[in-house]
Amino acid sequence: MNPQHWPLYGLRLRTPRLELRLPDLELLDDLASVAADGVHLRADMPFTVPWTDASPAERGRAVFQHVLATVANWSVRDWALSLAVLHEGKVVGRQDVMAKDFAVTGEVGTGSWLGLAHQGQGIGTEMRAAALHLAFAGLGARTAVSAAMTDNPRSLGVSRRLGYLPDGLEVAAVRGAPVTLQRLRLDRARWEAYRAVEVTVEGLDDCRKEFGA
C-alpha cells in the first residue's frame, strides 16, 4: 500500500542488485528480525549509540520503533529517511539518509547496517551509492557526510570507494570508553567522479517537497 498521506512510502531506489524503500509493517518486521539475528560480533561495537548490545528481541523492537519514529518525527527542517534494503527479494539491512535544514545547507548524512550474513559482498557499497544518488541527483545535495570508527574497515572502505575524503576526527564515549571516529565528506564533484553504480529512483516527484529540496 502507498498511503496518499505519506508519499514517501512510494519512493523506490533500485541498483543492479538492490531495492531500497521505506518499509511497511510486514517488511519492517522482517528488518527487525535481521537485526535480531545479529549485525556484528559481540566484541565489536560500530555504533556510537550501542543499541546492538541489547538482547535479540530488544534489538528487533529497537529497529521497529526507530523506523516508525523517523516517520512520526519527520519535518521538512529535520528528517531521516530509514530505508529497508532488499537483495533478491529479501530484506538484508537498512540505509538511512538524514538532514537538518536541507533547503539551506544542501548537506545530508548517512548511516547503515547489514545483517551479519550479508556483509562483505559489496552490498554496503551499493546501498550507500543508492542513498548518494537520491541525495545528489534526486534532491540536488551539495555535500554528503558520514563517520565511522577508525577500527571499522568495511564502513571506511565503503566511503573510500565512493570518493569521500577524510574530514577530521572526533572522540565519543561508547560503552564507557573513548572511541575515535573518522569523519568523512563527499562533495558533488567527487560524487560525479566516483559514481559507478547504476541507480534509478521512482516516486520522487510526489515527495520531493518533503525533503525541502
Ligand X SMILES: CC(C)(COP(=O)(O)OP(=O)(O)OC[C@H]1O[C@@H](n2cnc3c(N)ncnc32)[C@H](O)[C@@H]1OP(=O)(O)O)[C@@H](O)C(=O)NCCC(=O)NCCS
In the list 32, 123, 130, 141, the residue contacting ligand X (rule: CB under 6 A) is 123
Cα–Cα nearest to 13, from 137, 159, 158, 153? 137
In the list 152, 191, 204, 212, the residue contacting ligand X (rule: CB under 6 A) is 152
* Binding of ligand X by 46 (CB under 6 A): yes
Q: Which helix (H) or strand (E) holds 129?
A: helix 123-133
Q: Return the range that interacts with ligand X (CB under 6 A); candidates 7-15, 16-24, 122-130, 189-197.
A: 122-130
**Cβ contact 79:99 at 8 Å:** yes
Write the CB contacts of 104 (distance below 8 Å, at least 6 apart in sequence).
none
Write the CB contacts of 185 (distance below 8 Å, at least 6 apart in sequence).
143, 144, 145, 164, 165, 167
In the list 137, 157, 207, 210, the residue contacting ligand X (rule: CB under 6 A) is 157
Spatial distance between the Cα atoms of 165 and 35, rounded to a whole number of angstroms: 30
Residue nearest to ligand X (CB): 124
* Binding of ligand X by 163 (CB under 6 A): no
Q: Return the range that interacts with ligand X (CB under 6 A); candidates 19-27, 54-62, 119-127, 204-212.
A: 119-127
* Interface of this chain with ligand X, residues 75 to 114, rule: CB under 6 A: 112-114
Our CB check for ligand X shows the closer of 122 and 140 to be 122
Grid coordinates 577508525 are at which residue? 150
Binding site for ligand X (CB under 6 A): 39-40, 46, 112-114, 119-125, 148, 152-155, 157-158, 160-161
